[in-house]
A and B are shown apart, each in its own frame.
Chain A
Amino acid sequence: MSSPHIRQPASVQRIMLTVLLALLPGIAVYIWQIGAAILVNIAIASATALATEAFILKLRKRPLAITLGDGSALVTAWLIALALPCIVPWWLTVLAVLAAIAGAKHLYGGIGQNPFNPAMIAYCSMIVAYPAIMSQWPAPGHTDFAAQFHLILGGSRDIDGITGATALDAMRTGLRNHANVDAILASGTFGFAGGRGWEWLAVGYLLGGGILLARRIIDWRLPLGFIAGLGGTAALFWLISPERFPSPLFHLASGGAMLAAFFIVTDPVTAASTPRGKLIFAAGVGILAWIVRSFGAYPEGIAFGVLLMNICVPWIDRHTQPAIFGQQQETRP
């Protein structure tokens, strides 16, 4: 055994548990505003994630207790459940978690070694494979658990009124039809900032993010960079042409922006790791998310933004190495 011979009591488990705890306010708001079906999805995702991880570890003859107990699979599972619409059929959730845990995580050797954010791989592969199902969310105000549970079990999805487009979707469709931003906002699916109910969800995630920041689990540069990237780009275009581009507040309060800001771009494994790199990475995600939201074919661009920036991480890290001791000041006379 070699030095150091003493260690601080800290562990990966504790980090992951804190992240799970920080998700609770958001989940509470989700239940209140969108539907309790999220709990079913979280349960399905968690069970699938743990079972998949256990199976793979067994297959690779790796110790189960340490890796399974670190809680990282649960974090991924919860994030997937929160990112997918809560009324997707159960098999889609299972598929998504499989893609994340088996594909994006364990093919690369498990926790810490995956270059892509597993939850976002899950989201993107699902939205590419099942675009229709993935864009159906509970219509605002329809939080009826029985109806949502029916859909999760695979019930018919043609019932009007229960499902509806998200605010982002509505905005995009409206703008494609050359409608004015203000006219679209007046149409009813919208609340005071983003989609109706969704603004409160954003507040819930913001609260959880505050916990993570206070406990120094996440680096402030990542959420800040993301918010600046998404909000800044949105603000710029909104100032130029407020009829054709919705406000930065709308962008930040809609979709998964706050979830992404505090729980997704902050994944240390797949984010850039140097201080400057973190800002660039997160801002890049924000800007790409805005581009995809505004011009792309998919309603939510954050997931693609994250994956695209994941690709750039080795490059960003390499070119943003911080100055080390003795490099900042040159020789003194």
Chain B
Amino acid sequence: MIARLFHFRGGIEPDPHKRESSAAPIRPVPLPPKLIVPLIQGSRGGARTIVTVGDKVLKGQCIGEAEGAGGTAIHAPTSGTVMEIDRYPMAHPSGLASLAIVLEPDGEERWITPEPLDPARASREELLLRIQASGIVGMGGATFPSHIKIGKESRIDTLLINGAECEPWITCDDRLMRERAADIVAGAKILRHLNGARRVLVGIEDNKPEAIAAMTAAAHDAHGKDDSGVDVEIVPIPTRYPAGGEKQLIRVLTGIEIPAGKIASDFGVQCFNVGTAHAVCRALAHGEAMISRIVTVTGNVERPGNYEVLLGTPVHHLFALCGLRPGTDRKLMGGPMMGFTLPSLDAPITKGSNCLIAASPELFPPPPPEQPCIRCGTCARSCPIGLQPFALYWAGRAKRFDDANRYHLFDCIECGCCAYVCPAHIPLVDYFRFAKSEIRARDEEDKAASQARARFEARVARLEREKAEKAARLAAKAAETRASLAAGDAALIAAAQKNQEPA
């Protein structure tokens, strides 16, 4: 048993709004007319396409190989024909386009022959390769490639499975745990097998009693089924946003605080989302690559709920399915705390998309006008990192980026707690995002400048060297000529003297 739970600083308790979507079971989605599968779906690199336009592909067939060690493979979500490979708008706050493979489903859903891999028999390398080849990334939203995390060669003491789901409105992990607890537990066991942790803890916020019950039962069923002797332990944790943030969950369950820029593995902890554990189980035990995920569709819609969505399904297809109610003024991807407004409804669902919310002014009132900051410190009390958001705000506002760095801007996880509580209604997170991208751009510029400086100096040095060499060559040649001339002169003089003698 886990001895005690720890607290993290700050945090907020917003209205959960989970009921709307958590009541109905996970439903399938009819095939959309076309699927747009982006090439980049992991945070450490994308895929290189291995199909060409016109190719027929089977469901689950690899259509993009992982590019480099950190790349993430992509697979055909259904059987059909590759229509085009072109730039499409992405589910990203910028709405910018990037490369995607467009697939026209043939409606037959013909699977590629699955090749399950028994974790007990396969070697570690084989398992890691399979996880990468199956395109598995963190499904909590960060899309960090799982094979890199689990492949870390550090001694792992604790494996955490994140079922906290702290953001309001989102219930996809909740439903997944209720309905597919056995697969999650099996996935957790595979992950434990890979990192050799001594204990496995599943943190679930205590506002999800059904999920806790289902997971406890599944963990109980799995008891003694393998020879590891490590059981999966289900730990209810207090409901407090952002308890589901990786670092916050690690803090709550183990008491360890992972500083910014450090990774949990170095502290003997690894944390995976329940969706990721589920995907690992499907990939190894069933040989199914990651081609779908559970997405919560909620907010101002007729039929809110959770859907099993093929990756690449355009967002408008899902909203059409759920029935948008009138009065919807924008659509959010992700939760209300950290999600973003979708610039285009043509954007596809990707591996990290967990929730779609139709927002109306009634459900999500527009923010009241921004007032000046009075440094009341409410934001500092709510910050789970213990930052001073108002200090960062003043620094960002004054464009004093050195100060922003000093006040640990890059430790900010953009959880939104500060903006949520701010009595002056300042969009604090917007200022932080602005400052962060500005600092990043500046660093890039500095790097480019020093590179240019080095290249310029190298060039000047080279040109000078060449000039010097040329001069040396010329000098040598001149000396030679002079020498030969001198020799010639001597001969001439000698000849002249000879000629003089008879006279």
Answer yes or no: A and B touching, Cβ < 8 Å: yes
Q: Which residues of B contact A331 (CB under 8 A)?
A: 266-267
Q: Provide the bound-state CA to CA distance between A1 and B378, in Å.
A: 22
Q: Which residues of A contact B371 (CB under 8 A)?
A: 12, 66-67, 70, 111-112
Asked whether, in the complex, the Cβ of B386 is within 8 Å of the Cβ of A3, the reply is no
- From residue A263, how far is it (CB to closest CB) to chain B in Å? 15
Asked whether, in the complex, the Cβ of B366 is within 8 Å of the Cβ of A1, the reply is yes
B315-335 residues with Cβ-Cβ distance < 8 A to A are 330, 332, 334
Q: Which residues of B contact A113 (CB under 8 A)?
A: 372
In the complex, which of the residues B266, B336, B386, B420 contacts A324, with contact meaning CB atoms closer than 8 Å?
A: B386
If A3-B336, A273-B391, A324-B386 touch, whether A10 touches B429 (CB-CB below 8 Å) is: no
Asked if B272 lies at the interface with its beta carbon under 8 angstroms from chain A, I say: no
- From residue B19, how far is it (CB to closest CB) to chain A in Å? 16
If A3-B429, A11-B423 touch, whether A325 touches B411 (CB-CB below 8 Å) is: yes
In the complex, which of the residues A219, A268, A322 contacts B374, with contact meaning CB atoms closer than 8 Å?
A: A268
Q: What is the count of residue pairs linking A and B with beta-carbon distances less than 8 angstroms? A: 142
Of the stretches B106-114, B228-236, B251-259, B492-500, the one at the interface is B251-259
Q: Which residues of B contact A161 (CB under 8 A)?
A: none
If A113-B372, A274-B388, A321-B407 touch, whether A6 touches B336 (CB-CB below 8 Å) is: yes
Q: Provide the bound-state CA to CA distance between A46 and B414, in Å.
A: 41
If A324-B408, A324-B411 touch, whether A4 touches B267 (CB-CB below 8 Å) is: no
Q: Which residues of B contact A332 (CB under 8 A)?
A: 256, 267-268
If A8-B420, A322-B388 touch, whether A273 touches B377 (CB-CB below 8 Å) is: yes
Asked whether, in the complex, the Cβ of B372 is within 8 Å of the Cβ of A4, the reply is no
Asked if B276 lies at the interface with its beta carbon under 8 angstroms from chain A, I say: no
B372-402 residues with Cβ-Cβ distance < 8 A to A are 372-378, 380, 384-388, 390-391
Asked if A312 lies at the interface with its beta carbon under 8 angstroms from chain B, I say: no
> Residue on B with the closest CB to A332?
B267
Asked whether, in the complex, the Cβ of A3 is within 8 Å of the Cβ of B416, the reply is yes
Q: Which residues of B contact A15 (CB under 8 A)?
A: 374, 376, 423
A1-19 residues with Cβ-Cβ distance < 8 A to B are 1-8, 10-12, 14-15
Q: Which residues of A contact B375 (CB under 8 A)?
A: 112, 268-269, 271, 273
Q: Provide the bound-state CA to CA distance between A327 and B251, in Å.
A: 13
Asked if A300 lies at the interface with its beta carbon under 8 angstroms from chain B, I say: no
Asked whether, in the complex, the Cβ of A2 is within 8 Å of the Cβ of B340, the reply is yes
Asked whether, in the complex, the Cβ of A268 is within 8 Å of the Cβ of B337, the reply is no
A61-106 residues with Cβ-Cβ distance < 8 A to B are 63, 66-67, 70, 72
Q: Which residues of B contact A188 (CB under 8 A)?
A: none
Q: Provide the bound-state CA to CA distance between A317 and B375, in Å.
A: 12
Q: Which residues of B contact A187 (CB under 8 A)?
A: none
- From residue A215, how far is it (CB to closest CB) to chain B in Å? 12
Of the stretches B7-15, B34-42, B123-131, B447-455, the one at the interface is B7-15
If A322-B386, A324-B387 touch, whether A7 touches B341 (CB-CB below 8 Å) is: no
Asked whether, in the complex, the Cβ of B372 is within 8 Å of the Cβ of A110, the reply is yes
A107-140 Cβ-contact flags toward B at 8 Å (1 or 0): 0011111000000000000000000000000000
If A5-B332, A5-B336 touch, whether A12 touches B429 (CB-CB below 8 Å) is: no
What are 7 A-B contacts defined by CB distance under 8 Å? A1-B366, A2-B429, A8-B14, A12-B374, A268-B374, A268-B375, A273-B391
Given contacts A4-B419, A7-B422, 9 further A-B contacts (CB under 8 A): A1-B330, A3-B340, A14-B423, A15-B374, A72-B374, A325-B259, A328-B257, A332-B267, A332-B268
